[in-house]
A = this chain, B = another copy of it.
Amino acid sequence: MNSRDQYIGIFDSGIGGLTVARSIMEKMPDENTIYFGDTAHLPYGTKSEKQIRDFAVNDVTFLNRFSLKALVIACNTADSVAREVLEEKFDLPIFGVIEPASRKAAHETKNNRIGIMATAATCRSGAYEKQIRKYNAEAEVFAQPCPLLVPLVENSRYKKDDPVVQIILKEYLAPLTEKEVDTIVLGCTHYPLLMDAICSIVPQINVISSSQAAADALYEGLSSGGMIREEKGGEHRYYVSDDAEHFHDNALIFMEKQLVGDVEQVSI
């Protein structure tokens, strides 16, 4: 297999990472991708760091059975707590969601006040703050845990005219607007679906999707290494650790169209 034709392996605790997969497919439609969703163990955001690291190692052990040219941690929680252990254990170019979105926020803020919306585990990890300060030592970072956004999105409640979405988002955004942030990072792969609703509440703030930033960074990385696939038409495979049909149905929310490619359940 030509090394450019190898797969891009993408994993997440479940279905949210499909927003990253979707951004990758839109940016690089000819790449071969394998997505693994650890749906038997979701959500990671409420679990302990040790559990999340153990799950992530199992996820990548599965993906590594295939011939990979890059690995994408399409899960903010896993990227924030399991990245180091994955770099130690696997000899693969590893891309994530936190570094790209942090870099973009650090460069784009004008008043050096940046908000992070993420799960409790990602907020606790301090991973965004640490990355942002690498690129902008002046930046002040304010992390807001948003535990209800994942269940809302997974129940198709993300539209800006939904009163529940409005109430909950206003509560989560209030502490960030009080701190006068001019930039907010959506630090969870579910949140890009809430982009319109968030922008309707804080139109003056620059909102950065970590999923889009991850796809952009992967493109840069593959391009600079001459690893972009040249054949037309990428192949896409999906594997999950729990029920495949349920994943297939719910993928529609995140992809906003039917999945191209089969979904298979595997034991890891």
Contact = CB atoms under 8 A, between A and B. Distances in A.
Interface of A: 39-42, 46-48, 51, 147-148, 150-152, 154-155, 157, 163-164, 167-168, 242-243, 246
A94 B152 CA distance: 35
Contact of A167 (B42, B48, B148, B163): B163
16 contacts: A39-B47, A40-B41, A40-B51, A41-B41, A47-B242, A47-B243, A48-B243, A48-B246, A51-B242, A147-B151, A147-B154, A148-B155, A148-B157, A150-B151, A151-B151, A164-B167
Q: How many copies does the complex hold?
A: 2
Nearest to A152: B148
A191 to B, nearest CB: 15
Please report whether the interface of chain A is mostly helix, strand, loop or mixed according to DSSP.
Answer: loop
Nearest to A167: B164
Contacts of A51: 40, 242
A164 B155 contact: no
Contacts of A147: 151, 154-155
A130 to B, nearest CB: 22
B40 A242 contact: no
Nearest to A244: B48
A242 B152 CA distance: 24
A83 to B, nearest CB: 20
Nearest to A43: B43
Contacts of A40: 41, 47, 51
Contacts of A155: 147-148
